[in-house]
């Protein structure tokens, strides 16, 4: 939530700062237009004066002199009737600060607050995720031990060659192992790679994945009534679970 609020304030502040940062002093007011006209006249008078100094042609000088006479008296007047000077750089900044400085500053402030809140929110979420992952990683060992125990129990119960297994019971027991043990292990497996590295992750979860697939095959065999496939799948699943547990114990011992 804190991260979302921070991002919202960041976006809002950026928009406000962008709008008022590009604000034109005076906007469409009469004084603003008059000042712009004053600047145009000043630029024209400056060019005429430069041309007069450069030219030596008497006819051209007369034309420029006449033009200078027209440009000179055309200084615009404001609403109070007083002549308006052409806006200078410092004057433009002062006008902008008076008209748009406050909302622009508010936008910048919102940007700063948004950045701070967003960073705090991201840090809090990262800390929470780390705590959750650490909890999942701590449970990996006990869950693998349960997987070994449960798969061994399934083998003892449903691999008797002299007696056909109860297909409904097989399906129910395998589903229980999948939901209570396999699914939590799958959800927390990322912590293994974070704490011990990718190589350790592969050593543990390659045999675990094999056990998971074999349990799925045993479940499918019970559904499709392929009785002969159930026992081999359970036996191999138990062996793979033992390999995964042994690999995890070795990785944990080496890390400590």
SS3 57: coil
Calculate the average pLDDT of the chain.
Answer: 76
- Which of 14-18, 149-153, 168-172, 202-206 comes out lowest in average pLDDT? 14-18
Question: What pLDDT does 73 receive?
Answer: 45
pLDDT tens column, 159-198 = 877 777 889 999 999 999 999 999 999 888 777 777 788 8
Least-confidence region, from 13-22, 63-72, 219-228: 63-72
For the chain, percent of residues with pLDDT exceeding 90: 29
**Is the pLDDT assigned to residue 20 strictly greater than 80?**
no
Return d(Cα 215, Cα 37) in angstroms, integer.
85
pLDDT band at 55 (very low <50, low <70, confident <90, very high): low
**From residue 163, how far is each of 157, 159, 169, 222, 228 by CA, in Å?**
10, 8, 14, 15, 11
Domain range list for the chain: 2-125, 135-251
Q: Quick: pLDDT tens for 71-116.
A: 454 455 555 555 555 455 555 566 666 667 788 888 888 888 888 8
In this model, does residue 137 exceed pLDDT 70? Answer: no
Distances (CA, A) of 61 to 52, 71, 72, 165: 6, 15, 16, 117
Confidence of residue 254 (pLDDT cuts 50, 70, 90): confident
Which residue is listed with tokens 């060019």?
47
Burial 220-230 (b: 16+ CB within 10 A, else e): ebbeeeeeeeb
- pLDDT for the residue numbered 148: 95
For residue 83, what are the β-bridge partners? 77
* pLDDT value for 216: 95
Query: Using an 8 Å Cβ cutoff, are 225 and 241 in contact?
Result: no
In CATH, the number for domain 135-251 is: 1.20.120
Q: Which of 87, 83, 57, 59 is nearest to 72 (CA)?
A: 83
């Amino acid at each position: 939530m804190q991260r979302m609020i921070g991002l919202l304030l960041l976006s809002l502040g950026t928009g406000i700062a962008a709008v008022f940062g590009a604000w034109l002093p005076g906007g469409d007011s009469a004084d603003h237009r008059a000042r712009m006209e004053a600047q145009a006249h000043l630029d024209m008078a400056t060019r005429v004066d430069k041309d007069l100094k450069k030219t030596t042609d008497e006819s051209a000088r007369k034309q420029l002199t006449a033009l200078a006479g027209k440009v000179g008296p055309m200084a615009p007047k404001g609403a109070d009737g007083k002549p308006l000077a052409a806006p200078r750089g410092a004057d433009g900044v002062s006008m902008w600060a008076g008209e748009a400085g406050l909302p622009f500053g508010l936008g910048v402030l919102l940007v700063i607050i948004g950045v701070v809140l967003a960073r705090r929110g991201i840090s809090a979420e990262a800390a929470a995720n780390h705590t959750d992952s650490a909890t999942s990683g701590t449970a990996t060992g006990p869950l693998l031990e349960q997987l070994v125990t449960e798969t061994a129990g399934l083998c003892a119960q449903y691999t008797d060659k002299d007696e056909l297994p109860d297909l409904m019971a097989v399906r129910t027991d395998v589903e229980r192992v999948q939901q209570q043990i396999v699914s939590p292990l799958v959800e927390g497996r990322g912590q293994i790679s974070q704490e011990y590295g990718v190589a350790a992750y592969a050593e543990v979860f390659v045999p675990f994945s094999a056990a998971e697939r074999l349990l799925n095959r045993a479940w499918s065999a019970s559904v499709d009534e392929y009785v002969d496939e159930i026992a081999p799948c359970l036996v191999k699943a138990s062996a793979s679970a033992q390999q995964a547990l042994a690999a995890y114990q070795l990785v944990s011992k080496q890390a400590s």
